[in-house]
Amino acid sequence: PFGDRVSLVVFGASGDLAKKKTFPALFGLFREGQLPSTVQIVGYARSNLSDEEFKDRIRPNLKLRNADKSKIDEFLSLCSYMHGPYDEDSGYVELLDKCVAYEKKHNVAVPERLFYLALPPSAFATVCRFLKKHLNSESGLKTRVIVEKPFGRDLQTFRELQENLSPLFTEDELYRIDHYLGKEMVKNLLVLRFGNEFLGAAWNKNHIKSIQISFKEAFGTQGRGGYFDTIGIIRDVMQNHMLQVFTLLTMERPVSFDPEAVRDEKVKVLKAVEPIDPKDVLLGQYSASEDGKEPGYLDDDTVNKDSKCFTYAAFALHIHNERWEGVPIVLRAGKALDESKVEIRIQFKPVAKGMFKEIQRNELVIRIQPDEAIYMKINSKIPGISTETSLTDLDLTYSKRYSDDFWIPEAYEALIRDCYLGNHSNFVRDDELDISWKLFTPFLEALEAADGPKPELYSYGSKGPKGLREFLASHGYVFSDEG
Ligand code: BG6
């Protein structure tokens, strides 16, 4: 782990990601005593801001829990701001001076520097080149670099990025964030599966009929339309966030929680996934809400007027191995839907009918957000004189079980803490990305071809494209009203 005299440099410090996620996460860690009060935090960006102007920008997003207000000022006193270019030596030379001055002042023998690149990926290679040249050239130095998706838009662009970065920083020094891996319930998946015999024993094709991983957002592209139009929902959340959830849900048992052991198993299961069938998909794009109050996707001025970009997609993944042969795993994701919710639904096979007139299936639901929960739908006798059964929940809803005083770190807090501790488990390894792009690139190419499918329109605030029910049914999901 890093010690207590670390230079934490956030590139892109005046941007949205830094303001909304990185600095609030750093503050959260500080507030909870997880970040030493002896580190120095430097925000770096091109905008010419004074220290005070910079602090005024980040202050509104720093959230107190039980701590008192003085924590915010204490935290801000560790922060300073520097402006400079990303593609010239000058800024980096100045940055080096700042790091060295701090290290000298505190007699740091082995400098420890963490660079957080809250920047678009087009800037990664340039910034890393200059970092290597100026801030990582001394021997014995400990450096960690955090980068965040998108890691390319297909296999080729991912590999190009990789070719640019890997000569500069080792895999050990690079921390690739997929923030879903920092979410509490996602981190719980391996414990749930491998720490509970009754679940572990049933976690296979003999007992499970179908799985769904669903991502719903109740808002549209919210001013990011221009960017979203170049990527679509599959690259935005499915190839990364949802695929991570998929691998944790389906991988084999790792020998330990060791980062390499976990990531080796993730890669193995991805290798067993059949190429995705571009004909077996449900695609949608949202139009204005029925009451006309919420705009349609194409109403965004920054979006191409004849764009057929998908804001909704559903497709199934099929794994060919002993555990999962024949179990469809549906990924579905959409923006501008009726609610915001991310959950996993695992539906079990039916029990033998015989003694029951009607009996429904068990379904395990793991809700990642909001309000983390794990509940199992089980059949139980209606209490009292009735002999009827009903489906009811064995329910572990976190907000009911754990008090508000219990600190559950936000995804970025958890991940920055992991990076600080030098734990790679919840970061994405290069070969994982390679294999996931191998899986998604031909699929995306087929969908995005000039003669590719057109999305079905669904209104803002609805449940999504009309064909969803049939789509799920065709992949083995049985609705409770069908028994
Ligand atoms: C981001 C996507 O990676 O994840 C966004 O670019 C999406 O479009 C977001 O809204 C979802 O993250 P969360 O943590 O809000 O579920």
pLDDT tens for 213-251 read: 999 999 999 888 999 999 999 999 999 999 999 999 999
Q: Please give the distance, rounded to the nearest whole angstrom, from the Cα atom of residue 237 to the centre of ligand 1.
A: 7
Backbone angles phi, psi at 481, to 5 degrees: -75, -5
* Torsion of the alpha carbons at 45, 59, 148 and 335, rounded to the nearest 10: -120
Residue 197: is its pLDDT beyond 70?
yes
Ligand 1 touching residue 237 (CB < 6 A): yes
Residue to mutate (ligand 1; options 234, 236, 341; most atoms within 8 A of CB): 236
Residue 187: is its pLDDT beyond 60?
yes
199 dihedral zone (left: phi>0; alpha: psi -120 to 50; beta): alpha
Residue 447: is its pLDDT beyond 50?
yes
Looking from the CA of residue 340, the nearest atom of ligand 1 is 16
Q: Please give the distance, rounded to the nearest whole angstrom, from the Cα atom of residue 236 to the centre of ligand 1.
A: 8
Ligand 1 touching residue 434 (CB < 6 A): no
Residue 81: is its pLDDT beyond 60?
yes
Looking from the CA of residue 228, the nearest atom of ligand 1 is 8
Backbone angles phi, psi at 373, to 5 degrees: -155, 150
Q: Please give the distance, rounded to the nearest whole angstrom, from the Cα atom of residue 436 to the centre of ligand 1.
A: 19
Ligand 1 touching residue 333 (CB < 6 A): no
Q: Which pLDDT does position 480 carry in this prediction?
A: 76
Residue to mutate (ligand 1; options 217, 230, 337; most atoms within 8 A of CB): 217
Residue to mutate (ligand 1; options 179, 235, 337; most atoms within 8 A of CB): 179
CB atoms closer than 10 angstroms to residue 421: 11
Nearest protein Cα to ligand 1, atom 7? 237
Can you tell me the mean pLDDT for 20-27? 97
Cβ contact 80:40 at 8 Å: yes
pTM: 0.96
Read off the pLDDT of residues 302-317 as tens digits, 9 standing for 90 and up. Answer: 999 999 999 999 999 9
Read off the pLDDT of residues 99-124 as tens digits, 9 standing for 90 and up. Answer: 999 999 999 999 999 999 999 989 99
Nearest protein Cα to ligand 1, atom 8? 236
Looking from the CA of residue 342, the nearest atom of ligand 1 is 16
Can you tell me the mean pLDDT for 259-286? 97
Q: Please give the distance, rounded to the nearest whole angstrom, from the Cα atom of residue 137 to the centre of ligand 1.
A: 36
Looking from the CA of residue 221, the nearest atom of ligand 1 is 8
Residue 483: is its pLDDT beyond 50?
no
Looking from the CA of residue 240, the nearest atom of ligand 1 is 3
**Secondary structure, 3-state, the chain:** CCCCCEEEEEECCCCHHHHHHHHHHHHHHHHCCCCCCCCEEEEEECCCCCHHHHHHHHHHHCCCCCCCCHHHHHHHCCEEEEECCCCCHHHHHHHHHHHHHHHHHCCCCCCEEEEEECCCHHHHHHHHHHHHHHHCCCCCCEEEEEEECCCCCCHHHHHHHHHHHCCCCCCCCEEEECHHHHCHHHHHHHHHHHCCHHHHHHCCCCCEEEEEEEEECCCCCCCCHHHHCCCHHHHHHHHHHHHHHHHHHHCCCCCCCCHHHHHHHHHHHHHCECCCCCCCEEEEEEECCCCCCCCCHHHCCCCCCCCCCCCEEEEEECECCCCCCCCCEEEEEECCECCCEEEEEEEECCCCCCCCCCCCCCEEEEEEECCCEEEEEEEEECCCCCCCEEEEEEEEEHHHHCCCCCCCCCHHHHHHHHHHHCCCCCCCCHHHHHHHHHHHHHHHHHHHCCCCCCCEEEECCECCCCCHHHHHHHCCCCCHHHC
Nearest protein Cα to ligand 1, atom 4? 237
Q: Which pLDDT does position 193 carry in this prediction?
A: 98
Read off the pLDDT of residues 344-373 as tens digits, 9 standing for 90 and up. Answer: 999 999 998 888 878 899 999 999 999 999
Looking from the CA of residue 241, the nearest atom of ligand 1 is 3
Of the residues 106, 134, 179, 241, only one is catalytic, namely 241
Residue 482: is its pLDDT beyond 60?
no
Nearest protein Cα to ligand 1, atom 9? 237
Q: Please give the distance, rounded to the nearest whole angstrom, from the Cα atom of residue 109 to the centre of ligand 1.
A: 40
Q: Is 179 a catalytic residue?
A: no
Q: Please give the distance, rounded to the nearest whole angstrom, from the Cα atom of residue 449 to the centre of ligand 1.
A: 26
Structure tokens at 89: 């030596």
Q: Please give the distance, rounded to the nearest whole angstrom, from the Cα atom of residue 239 to the centre of ligand 1.
A: 13
Q: Please give the distance, rounded to the nearest whole angstrom, from the Cα atom of residue 425 to the centre of ligand 1.
A: 21
Ligand 1 touching residue 236 (CB < 6 A): yes
Q: Which pLDDT does position 481 carry in this prediction?
A: 66
Q: Which pLDDT does position 223 carry in this prediction?
A: 83
Can you tell me which residue has the tokens 């299961």? 269
Read off the pLDDT of residues 123-168 as tens digits, 9 standing for 90 and up. Answer: 999 999 999 999 887 777 899 999 999 999 999 999 999 999 999 9
Q: Which pLDDT does position 125 carry in this prediction?
A: 94
Looking from the CA of residue 411, the nearest atom of ligand 1 is 14
Read off the pLDDT of residues 274-293 as tens digits, 9 standing for 90 and up. Answer: 999 999 999 999 999 999 99
Query: ipTM surpassing 0.90, yes or no?
Result: yes
* Torsion of the alpha carbons at 295, 299, 302 and 307, rounded to the nearest 10: 120
Closest CA to 410 of 36, 69, 65: 65
Residue 404: pLDDT band with limits 50, 70, 90: confident
Closest CA to 246 of 178, 198, 148: 178
What is the rounded average pLDDT for all residues in the chain? 95
Residue 420: is its pLDDT beyond 80?
yes
Nearest protein Cα to ligand 1, atom 15? 217
For the chain, the residue count is 483
Nearest protein Cα to ligand 1, atom 11? 237
